[in-house]
Structure 1
Amino acid sequence: MCLEPAPPPPTRLTRRGVLAGAAALAGAAAVLSTASPAAARQKDQAHGTTPNGDLVIEGGTLLDPATGEVTEDAVVLIRSGKVDRAGPRRKVAVPAGLPRLSAEGHWVLPGLVDAHIHLSTVAEAREAVTKGATSARSGSTTFYQDIAVRDLASRLPSQAPRLRAAGLFVTPDMGDSVLADPDLAPLVGLKDGVRTAEALRRVVEVNVVRGADVIKTRVNERAGLPDQDPLTQVYSYEQLAEVVRAARRRGKGVLCHSYSEQGCHDAVRAGVRSLEHGVFVQERTLHEMRSRGTYFTPTLTAIAGLAESADPVLAERGRTYLPVLMDAVRAAHETGVPLAAGTDSSGGEVTPVGREIELMHAAGLSPLDAIRTATVNAARLLGVSGLVGRLAPGCAGDVLVVDSDPLSDLSALSRPVGVVRAGRIC
């Protein structure tokens, strides 16, 4: 069966239609339907914030991940959801009448970024925020739910992280995801699945037309399924390069699920923006990543979670893979490969991205460098530097308040005592 090489017309299924359907699946429609202006004002008043995102956070110890600078008795002034000023209390003039959040005895730092997470429901999105991930990059969803969650995040910031959505997974067997879009229906009849250049381009183009910010593909099978071999390569270098070319034509980067060294090497040479998981990545590929500026998102928490599985195959896989991956993370850091924190949370279980930071440190990064993987590094990967990852003037008013010094106790990042998203207390 053949596919026409031209991209599908967007008129058959509008982006608005995709958002409506995906919102219903994610549960966003119900949240948005009840979010009347009066209800929003009532909620803001209950939290002591304003509808337009004005807030003063005062008295805490402020950490700037970019510089490592620590400021005691600090003030962060947020106006209209963005940082207006931040610094020592004695130097920051605060207008009267603004709502205030006391951070006395606590540490204050920018909201964290989970660079690989699967958010398919409103409940998952809300939990990610309350656990500290105020920004995120999707690792794909089954029926475009992440695109709807991104829309929710822009309208009700306290309900979801600001999100870079990946839409549907570009994978040989798309399963029921082909039912998400009439323009993907022809893929059902392909004998070998989504492997031809035309089929690969089709999935990329449909994703972009429906609103995806990034493209997610794979080079290896999954580690989380006992009947699959994560070292088996499912796409060749040429196929990966086709995905990357199709994405770049539309101004999109590609994140690639990977495990084997050869698979990692092919993905990096093909031009992916970031390598996900990458357990068996080796020195030659790490040097290639450094020269290309390719990011590494190892998802240590996901691999560690395999070791706790009730399935003996998965448990053994996790125990075997985790030390190998931690060595790879340390080697990547020493080589100069940029690292980004991602939990690979999915299926209703949201792991705090703070746990990924702890494992980055356990792999050999300093506490500050580990924090950077979920702040300034991840912000650069997502293309939101200058907005996310710091609490400097002009940055998003996304704030994490923790009960102890995270440079001495990284576990504090997994149990925030306060989260602020765009100037609104979550």
Structure 2
Amino acid sequence: MCVENTPPPSSRLTRRGVLAGAAALAGTTAALSVTAPRAEARGATGPGAPGGDLVIEGGTLLDPATGEVTEDAVVVIAGGVVRAAGARGRTRIPGGTEVLDAHGKWILPGLVEAHIHLNTAAEARDAVLKGATSARSGSTTFYQDIAVRELARQVPHLAPRLRAAGVFVTPDLGDTVLADPDLTPLARLRDGVRSPEALRRVVEVNLARGADVIKTRVNERAGLPEQDPLAQVYDREQLSAVVAAARRGGKGVLCHSYSEQGCHDAVMAGVRSLEHGAFVGEHTLHEMRRRGTYFTPTLTAIAGLAESSDPVLAERGRSYLPVLRRAVLAAHELGVPLAAGTDSSGGAVDPIGGEVALMREAGLPALDAIRTATTSAARLLGLERTAGRLARGFAGDAILLDGDPLADVTVLKKPVRVIRAGTAL
């Protein structure tokens, strides 16, 4: 069955709904404009949401981009944006600004979480408190992530700066068909969302709702015991249809994947990043390096399966995790860009610092592991001039740590203080 004759989705109506949802999450009754938010400038927090003024002084500053370590450092944040960062003697401390004493602590930029599912305001706040000040959604069921993104623009300390994926482009939409009236014609399709027309339609609705990226899949899920994660649900041609529709809207695609054939088809179809990818092979990794395709292995999620009370999932986790670790190390050694993501969902937000620790366990040097949740992940999200560093013009997002992350990356799991847009939380 074809959905080609269905009128195109209305972006004006859904944009109003998105902003109304953001207002509800933020707890405000103030009238909001229905115009699209302005593009995020370097370090910008969003319209009507100026950041705070803060000086962080006395700690040891790590710049993930260069690996440079500066003792007795000063970071000056004004209006939510870094104005200066460096050694005390070379950095002027403005008078009358709140000072946060960081003596004995390490200062790092806020971490970037490349794969998370934020369905509630509480989850968004929890992610920030655990160090993720920027993030990319791995999709939500009813466009909650788009509202969370707007919440972050209005009240930055309540949510990470977010790249929203909207709803999952998957064969069986289930209740997600109710997420937007423009999706309801797809309920007539006996075989689900599989035809080029149907695939384009879900992408188009996502774009109309304001999605920043598109999420699709090539394999079934690992977290459901009744599914086979190596079974393929879309072929290369179908994935290419999703990628083409996303590119027409100027967006990239992240793809849930496990099997080697599925990973290869996804990469050849032109996805921007491969998610999970436990059985990705060397041939595909070489192609990823050539194309600049990112690898987001979500080691946290796979390690979590090994601890499941379900015997099928526990065995799956135990068998997949060492394979995935080898794939991560092979990708790093080949020069494939890596991004840290926990795949947190269902009310339990895992600390992004734990994913960095798992990257280290997989064999990455400590600094390179840290980069997967700072500079590398920021590039994947298109935030390379906003997040991932504490340098002039970047966002005033930071974390304070109790120890040296270059000696022990596990200190990233529990930041002692988080600063979001110049506000210490």
The code of the aligned residue for 1:302 comes to A
Please give the secondary structure, in 2, of the residue aligned with 1:74: strand
Match of 2:259 in 1: 260
- Describe how 1:130-145 pairs up with structure 2 within 5 A: 130-145=129-144
**1:399–1:420 Cα contact (<8 Å) kept:** yes
Q: State the match for 2:407 in structure 1.
A: 408
> Which segments of 5 or more consecutive residues in structure 2 lack a partner in the other structure?
32-48
- Give the C-alpha shift of residue 7 in structure 1: 6.4
Q: CA deviation at 1:19?
A: 4.0
Which letter maps to 1:330? L
SS at match of 2:152: helix
Q: Partners of 2:251 and 2:358 in 1: how far apart?
A: 29
1:162 is displaced (CA, Å) by 0.1
What is the CA deviation profile of residues 149-192 of structure 1, one whole-angstrom value per residue up to 9, with x for unaligned ones?
Answer: 00000111110000000000000001100101000001101010
| Secondary structure, aligned partner of 1:33 | coil
Could you say which residue in structure 1 is the equivalent of 2:42?
Answer: none
Where does 1:292-311 land on structure 2 (aligned, <5 Å)?
Answer: 292-311=291-310
Please tell me whether the aligned partners of residues 278 and 324 of structure 2 are also in contact (alpha carbons under 8 angstroms).
yes
Report the Cα offset of residue 6 of structure 1: 7.0
Structure 2 CA distance for partners of 1:417 and 1:249, relative to 1, 3 Å: same
| Residue type of the alignment partner of 2:168 | F
- Shift of residue 18, structure 1, vs aligned partner: 3.6
**Residues 1:29 and 2:28 aligned together:** no
SS, match of residue 171 in structure 1: coil
The Cα shift of 1:340 comes to 0.2
CA contact (8 A) 2:11 2:209 kept: no
Aligned length, in residue pairs: 408
CA displacement at 1:310 relative to structure 2: 0.6
CA RMSD of aligned residues (A): 1.5
Which residue in 2 is equivalent to 1:9?
9
Q: Secondary structure at the match of 1:255?
A: strand
Report the Cα distance in structure 2 between the residues aligned to 1:328 and 1:212, rounded to whole angstroms.
30
1:244 maps to a residue whose letter is V
Q: Is the 8 A contact 1:173 1:194 kept in 2?
A: yes
The C-alpha deviation readout for 1:119-151, integer Å capped at 9, x for no partner, is 000000000000000000000000000000000
Distance 1:258 1:74, change over 3 A: same
Q: CA deviation at 1:29?
A: 1.2
The 8 Å contact of residues 7 and 205 in structure 1, kept in 2 or not, is answered as no
CA distance in 2, matches of 1:5, 1:220: 29
Which residue in the other structure is 1:417 paired with?
416
Q: Cα distance, 1:32 vs. partner?
A: 2.7
SS of the residue 2:27 aligns to: helix
Matches of 1:30 and 1:183 in 2, distance apart?
24
Q: CA deviation at 1:13?
A: 3.7
Structure 2: distance between partners of 1:86 and 1:12: 42
Superposition deviation, residue 2 in structure 1: 2.0
The equivalent residue for 1:97 is 96
1:391 alignment partner AA: L
Could you tell me which amino acid in structure 2 is paired with residue 287 of structure 1?
H
TM-score, structure 2 as length reference: 0.94
Distance of aligned partners of 1:3 and 1:317 in 2 relative to their CA distance in 1, 3 Å threshold: same
Aligned match of 2:105: 106
Alpha-carbon distance in structure 2 between the residues aligned to 1:415 and 1:214: 29
Q: What is aligned with 1:248?
A: 247
Q: Is the 8 A contact 2:25 2:121 kept in 1?
A: no
Match of 2:57 in 1: 58
Counterpart CA distance in 1 for 2:187 and 2:385 is 43
CA change 1:135–1:12 in 2 (3 A) is: closer
CA distance in 1, matches of 2:293, 2:327: 15
Q: 2:356 maps to what in 1?
A: 357
Cα separation, partners in 2 of 1:138 and 1:401, compared to 1, 3 Å: same
Rounded to whole Å, the distance in 2 between the matches of 1:35 and 1:123 is: 21
Q: What does residue 177 of structure 1 align with? A: 176
Separation in structure 2 between the aligned mates of residue 349 and residue 237 of structure 1, nearest angstrom = 33
Q: Secondary structure at the match of 2:419?
A: strand
